[in-house]
Amino acid sequence: MNGYSRRLFLQFSGIAAAGALIVTDAGRTAAGAPVPAAYPGGDPFAPLRRRWRDVTAGSGFDPAAEPYRARLARLGATAAGYRRTMAPAGMSLWPELAFPSFTDTPERLRTMARAYALPGTGLTGDADLAAAVAGGIDHYRRRVYAADADPAGNWWHWQIGTPRTLLDAAVLIGPHLTDRQGGALGEAVDHFLPECRLSDYSGTSTGANRVDLCTVTLLRAILGSDPEKAALATSALSPVFRYVSEGDGIYRDGSFVQHTYVPYQGTYGAVLLSGLATLFAVLRGSPWEVTDPDRQIVFDSVERSFAPFVHDGLCMDLVSGRGIDREPYGDHRRGRGIASSILLLGEAASAAERARWQGMVKGWALRDTCVPMLGAAERGDLGFHARLAAVLDDDATPAADEPAGHRLLAMSARAVHRRPGWCAGLSMASYRIGHYEHGNGENLRGWHTGSGMLYWWGEGHGDQYSDSFWSTVDPYRLPGTTVSTRRLADGAGKGWGDTCPPGRWVGGATDGVYATVGQHLNGFESTTEAFKSWFFLDDAVVCLGAAITGGDGVPVETIVDNRRTDAPLIVDDRAGWAHLRGHGGYVLPGGARLRTLREERTGGPAPVTRSYVTLWLDHGVDPDAAGYVYLLMPGASLAETRARAADPGWAHVLANTARRQGVRIPSLGITAVNFWNDGAVGGLAVSAPCAVLVREHGDGTATLAVSDPRSVLSGLTVTWDRPVAEVLRGHSLLAGASTGARLTLAFGRLADLGGGSKTVTVRLDRGPAPGVRLGGFGRIPRQGRDGPRPR
């Protein structure tokens, strides 16, 4: 029996031949079950079983060609080892995996089932292997997943994780699971996942969880050839296809939230995308095909919700919740998962969408040199590898470049800025988005990731936050943040993201190219308060901080940057700049003293050591109205950094107070202000708190982007002290406009936009602009010794 123990074979009882689904002339199976109702193509569940195998186990490749031949052979060897060492006992199926073993034991059974179902494994169609899987499923069901078991612990194991894996294995081995075994497994699934779980879209039955629950329900339907459950699995997806304005789901601005408070495209969102891509593919052409017209929202989310957070093949950690510290290079793994889902989803999308997505994924794969995507796919999903290889080999599919521009997702307090050669991501916390999420023992020191953490990647920096960053970085010194140095306990605050501060003014305005973004910061588990603004430009981010206060009895710091590198650092206190070789430059006007530290830090379950260069501003113990101004210049050379520091007229700080923060960039024609209150500055006046970005173009026109970050305004008046001839394009919420010596715009209910920006385009009057008094960076006081100092 090919090494398979006869004792074990008999112990499982029933097995291969007895469980075969043989149809008699009477139209009933040998076991007496009725054949499913008539279907044009025969049994409607037969194609579902085939499609499930092809989509989830892998298809579209030549099993005799490399790398598939070797990969399939390894799968077969692994499955043979599992079969050989399987030893059913009262508290285990394998001696080293004591029950309940919610993940490992079912996963081994599925591995064996895939070796049975896939070609080229050396065990393809092996009845003894299928019998072992069937017996193992039943043994696990009787000992752990019985209908009368107490579902202790995490609900997910009982309703999603365990049943999905067991059902997956059961479907793959088909008739080798006897009627008795299949019926008992179905009964257990029905007990832990009753149909009523899909009748109410709330609690843990939303977003990605709802998609998972529908997937389990579909597998249950396939197992039992149950058309009603198949219909339920499809219909219960519909709430996922609706835009939400609070809680879990997809928002109109592209945000995706799970666990009520956590931006989650990278993990739960990826699960949702993968699950829907799989269901669309499996059900296509069946009586239960997903036809809800609102499924277009899912297709739209590829470019609106997911792609903005994928940079050169990695998925940014700022949308991955508690999962960021699970493993080194987890961001690249998550990026591959999203890429895989997008290619699969493309099979159900329009031809135009499919072409765009293939070009986008091809670009990611070609630019990911840290963890080459095709090579990594070879070790994982063979179906993804085949689809990706086909796209890479298709000369008719051009690789898409990184799309320059800005995406501000106000409803999830996230922003992404892309310019040629660099990319940045900003993570904030608000009254609706938590500072951080911890749970299940994960991400216990992510306390300050929502305090304005500014991630950035330059050319060649694809592993900056990948290579053991989270296990070794100083969690009190995350780049871009302003924090109290008060020590915190691991897992401080409520779990699952319920760590929202009271601040409502979090967001900004963007014209799609540039942006002004602000955060009224209330420190996590701290009395620290600050007003922080970021102005995202072509080659720099201008960072302002004002009214920084604290009463914790410890210093408050703003972390200019914290790079995982051992590159040389040069600091010139007198000229007000610093440069980190191979990374970029920093300009600090106004004489601020930049503190620096070079250190080796060790951490992680299997301890590793990494080098860091940290730059920060010390606001002192219990500061009162402290502030800062600095420029981050990703990728800048030493000469470019020096030149920018020597050019105080490049940017003018219009205001940096608790009432407003703004800048003017003459070379770009930009005036941008975050108004924390009503008021006027830099030629702009507003009637209520808002964000305004003005950009004057070289063709005699200008664009004004306006938003209500607090989402409370029923009306807003914006006045620009600039001669304007006419309004060329407006928005439905633009209730009125007057032109002439100055422009006045009256907006309606901006609160309805959920913090989103709306733009107005005007034609400027050719007359001279009124004079505006601008405050420059100012003369830089002499500090420290003359000349640069290497660090």
Residues identified as active-site: 209, 259, 268
The C-alpha atoms of residue 565 and residue 257 are separated, in whole angstroms, by 33
Which tokens in the block code for residue 522?
Answer: 């209330």
Question: Helices in 463-503 by DSSP H: which ranges?
Answer: 469-472
DSSP bridge partners of 702: 696, 762
Long-range contact list for 529-532, CB < 8 A, 24+ apart?
530/482, 531/657, 531/658, 531/661, 531/674, 531/676, 532/452, 532/482
Is residue 458 within 8 A of residue 585, CB to CB? The reply is no
End-to-end, the C-alpha distance of the chain in Å comes to: 69
SS (H, E, C) 315-380: ECHHHCHHHHHCCCCHHHHHHHHHHHHHHHHHHHCCHHHHHHHHHHHHHHHHHCCCCCHHHHHHCC
| C-alpha torsion 635→558→791→646, nearest 10 | 60
Q: Is residue 11 helix, strand or coil?
A: helix
Helix (H) or strand (E) holding 690: strand 690-696
Helix (H) or strand (E) holding 384: helix 382-393
Is residue 222 within 8 A of residue 281, CB to CB? The reply is no
What residues contact residue 120 under an 8 Å CB cut-off, 6+ apart? 63, 64, 68, 69, 72, 73, 76
The C-alpha atoms of residue 162 and residue 435 are separated, in whole angstroms, by 31
In 227-301, beta strands by DSSP E:
249-250, 256-258, 262-263
Is residue 505 within 8 A of residue 690, CB to CB? The reply is no
The C-alpha atoms of residue 315 and residue 340 are separated, in whole angstroms, by 13
Residue type, 419: R
Which tokens in the block code for residue 356?
Answer: 């765009």
Structure letter (DSSP) for residue 740? B
Angle at which helix 382-393 crosses helix 68-85, to 10 degrees, equals 180
Is residue 509 within 8 A of residue 693, CB to CB? The reply is yes
Sign of CA dihedral 441, 444, 446, 448: positive
Residue type, 35: V
Structure letter (DSSP) for residue 658? S
The C-alpha atoms of residue 276 and residue 282 are separated, in whole angstroms, by 10
Which tokens in the block code for residue 747?
Answer: 């907006």
Is residue 518 within 8 A of residue 532, CB to CB? The reply is yes
Give the chain's length: 791
Give the CA angle between residues 331, 336, 341 to the nearest 5°.
125
Question: Helices in 63-178 by DSSP H: which ranges?
Answer: 68-85, 104-117, 127-143, 155-156, 162-173
The C-alpha atoms of residue 120 and residue 635 are separated, in whole angstroms, by 48
Which tokens in the block code for residue 364?
Answer: 């990611």
Nearest in space to 516 (alpha carbons), one of 686, 692, 688, 683? 692
The C-alpha atoms of residue 685 and residue 772 are separated, in whole angstroms, by 13
Helix (H) or strand (E) holding 315: strand 314-315
